[in-house]
Chains A and B, each alone.
Chain A
Amino acid sequence: MDILSLYTAPKNTKYMVVDVPDVGLLNSLGLRAGTKVTVQNRYALGGPVLLRVEDAYSVAIGKDIAKQIGVTAC
């Protein structure tokens, strides 16, 4: 399976998180290996990505962390 960086992964496709940095808040918000996410919006000039997590809630993640999150299509 190809692992993409969440920061560049195309919009409106469902992904599964496979690799995530050890950040407490990400874990609390439910972003861990196995979580299903969709990229909803992307923001120019180094802005964050807005994710829909498990089809239930939206979380925005800054570029510098989003780059470190690996996902695969599912």
Chain B
Amino acid sequence: MLNTNSARMGIAGSAYPNDGRHSDRREPSKTKILLMGNPNVGKSIFFTELTGIHAMSSNYAGTTVTFMEGRFKLGEKEYTLVDVPGTYSLDPTSEAETVATEFVKSGAAAIICVLDASNLERNLRLALELQQYNIPIVYALNLWDIAERHGIEINAKLLEQELGAPVVPTVAVKKQGLNELLKQLENMLSNTKSADHACENANCTSCPFNRFGKHGNDVFTSAKEISRRVSRKTKSNLKFIDKLGASMVKPFPGIPIALLVMALAIAAVVFGGRGLRAGFLLPLVQGLNINGVYYGIVPLFQWIFTAIIPEGMLLNILIGEFGIFVISFEWILALIFPYVLLFYVVFTFLEDTGYLPRISVLFDNIMRKLGVQGGSLIHTIMGYGCAVPAIIGSRAATSRKERIVIAVAICFAIPCISQTGALISLFGEFAWWMLPAIFGFSILLFILVTLIAGKFVKGKVDPLIIEVPNLLMPNGKAFGRKLATRMRHFLKDAEKPMLIAIIIAAVLAESGLLAIIATHAEPLVSGWLGLPSEAVTALILGIVRREMSVAPLLALELTTLQAFVGGVVSLMYIPCISVFAILAKEFKAKIAIIISLGTIASALFVGGLINHIGVFFGG
């Protein structure tokens, strides 16, 4: 019955005020169905289940400033389902709400409005506001199970009468009620022709679409009255997960739990990534020795190319020490891929459980002392994955100052997961304390940069206002799809810069150009930073991709001090070309340039300082 032919993602928000409208132009409103609701009601799971393509949205408040659309079939007809950013109301008070309002105003064949049954009154306000736009609506009364556990019983039939539109109880994570919802939607769409007609010149109060319009009560009063009429308190029967969700946001035991969760998350990424690399990807790439013959990806390419290409520069560029086919697999597949995968497994899980807003609440006091607020902690954690989605995600911040300060701090102080993967491998050859030391340094740097940037960026930061959603077990399918989408995005976005960096590396190394550059850069690289002159490759490639500021160091014979200096320079160095582009796009080219020059200068300065202090104390 359902069938997905294609899906695409658009980015909505004030930086791209036209994107929402573009989408409208592409999709005639007659085949468009809007999926709407408050944040945290499980809207994205409906989208996944209905279209088969996962929406890159999250279940914490206000961060869904991107939207997705996907095709799905209803009976014989094909429709486009648009996952509209979660919104509490249609008053355009934030970017997400502005986008949602624009979608509704531009019209649609129908709206699927997802309501949180455990929180009916507030959800009904949006439900009623939507009725003012003369678009047929079907309501999904979701989180029905959580409402039951909280001792809330809702008479869905009565609610249907009150709203004058179909209401279907659902538990989307368990796929309950979805077929019934589609049936109601199909019925409604085949009957709307006449309904549409009747409403065209309607100011009639009998018309269901106008019942709560400008003439009636305001939505606050109506929502309260309807909610009171249709719901009844029964005995609550909270499960372990509900109690855990409540404990996790109390200062005690919430803060110890948060520290434990973070420690477990780091351990999972570091040790899981290491295991995946050593146990599977490295043998796959470098080859396993079976009876004297190596079987693996790189040996395969070496075998093919040596058979068809004569020895010389071309062969070296392809499969030499820095050859394209050697580096692209060794650095990308074996070095960073395992860590990227593990990071997104952990992050997506934390996100889908609704845990992340709890961290924002618990540590808002510290963030507030730094001049920002707890909400930014989520974007900072995202930055440990990649700065690009972190900076896009920070659109949810309500003040421009907050966005810029956090973007700057992420660029200066937060290593991305690709870089972290490379650092784990680099430090793995030296001492165990180096990884914790560099992360400790990263946190100190984050504090310092946030404080300094807060002094320079004009404006003020809005205090924290965040909904803390119910804790829930993620839906396996939605989790898998979201993870797959994230990995696909990572590979797609990384592809071009990686290739560019690898080609530069191969050409520099094999053409002899590197030796010339190394001689000229010697005073800086060797004199000031104390690194071998070949390390200049890391500084050149690091501009393109972050892990490339570490990876070339792996092939060099370094001392512990040199490895640590290399790590610090890499950490503080310019983020990468993709981040530069997103900074210029989201803010101004000027900000991107200031951040780039500032990071390069401070990285080289601090790296040299550590080198000289180390040499002084080390003798």
Instruction: Report yes or no: A61 in contact with B464, Cβ–Cβ below 8 A.
Output: yes
Task: Using A46-B368, A46-B369 as known contacts, say yes or no to A41 and B122 having CB atoms under 8 A apart.
Answer: no
CA distance in complex: A41, B245 (Å): 13
CA distance in complex: A26, B61 (Å): 13
CA distance in complex: A53, B608 (Å): 54
Q: Check: B362 CB closer than 8 A to any chain A CB.
A: yes
| Closest B residue, CB atoms, query A67 | B463
Q: Check: B118 CB closer than 8 A to any chain A CB.
A: yes
Q: Check: A27 CB closer than 8 A to any chain B CB.
A: yes
Contacts of A41 in B (CB 8 A): 249-251
Instruction: Report yes or no: A24 in contact with B361, Cβ–Cβ below 8 A.
Output: no
Task: Using A60-B361, A62-B364 as known contacts, say yes or no to A43 and B463 having CB atoms under 8 A apart.
Answer: no
Contacts of A48 in B (CB 8 A): 361, 364-365, 374, 463-464
Contacts of A25 in B (CB 8 A): 88, 93-94, 398, 465
| Closest B residue, CB atoms, query A61 | B465
Chain A, interface SS category: mixed
Q: Check: B360 CB closer than 8 A to any chain A CB.
A: yes
CB distance from A9 to the nearest CB of B (A): 17
Q: Counting chain A CB atoms within 10 Å of each CB, which of B91, B93, B250, B464 scores highest?
A: B464
Chain B residues in the interface with A (C-beta under 8 A): 87-89, 91, 93-94, 97, 116, 118-122, 125, 220, 249-251, 357, 360-362, 364-366, 368-369, 373-374, 398, 462-468
Contacts of A56 in B (CB 8 A): 118-122
Instruction: Report yes or no: A32 in contact with B220, Cβ–Cβ below 8 A.
Output: yes
**Which single member of A45, A59, A62 contacts B369 (CB below 8 Å)?**
A45
Indicate with 1 or 0, residue by residue over A36-74, a CB within 8 angstroms of chain B CB atoms. Answer: 000001111111101001101111111111100000000
Contacts of A53 in B (CB 8 A): 122
- Contacts A60-B357, A61-B463, A61-B465 supplied; 19 other A-B pairs, CB < 8 Å: A28-B87, A28-B91, A28-B93, A30-B121, A30-B220, A32-B220, A42-B251, A45-B366, A48-B364, A57-B119, A59-B465, A59-B468, A60-B360, A60-B374, A60-B466, A60-B468, A62-B364, A63-B463, A65-B465
Q: Check: A23 CB closer than 8 A to any chain B CB.
A: yes
**Which single member of B122, B125, B465 contacts A57 (CB below 8 Å)?**
B122
Contacts of B462 in A (CB 8 A): 23
CA distance in complex: A50, B465 (Å): 10
Contacts of B121 in A (CB 8 A): 30, 54, 56
23 chain-A/chain-B pairs, Cβ below 8 angstroms: A27-B89, A27-B93, A28-B87, A29-B465, A29-B467, A30-B88, A30-B220, A43-B365, A46-B368, A47-B251, A47-B361, A47-B364, A50-B249, A56-B118, A57-B467, A58-B249, A59-B465, A59-B467, A60-B464, A60-B465, A60-B466, A60-B468, A62-B374
**Which single member of B97, B364, B369, B373 contacts A28 (CB below 8 Å)?**
B97
Contacts of B467 in A (CB 8 A): 29, 57-60
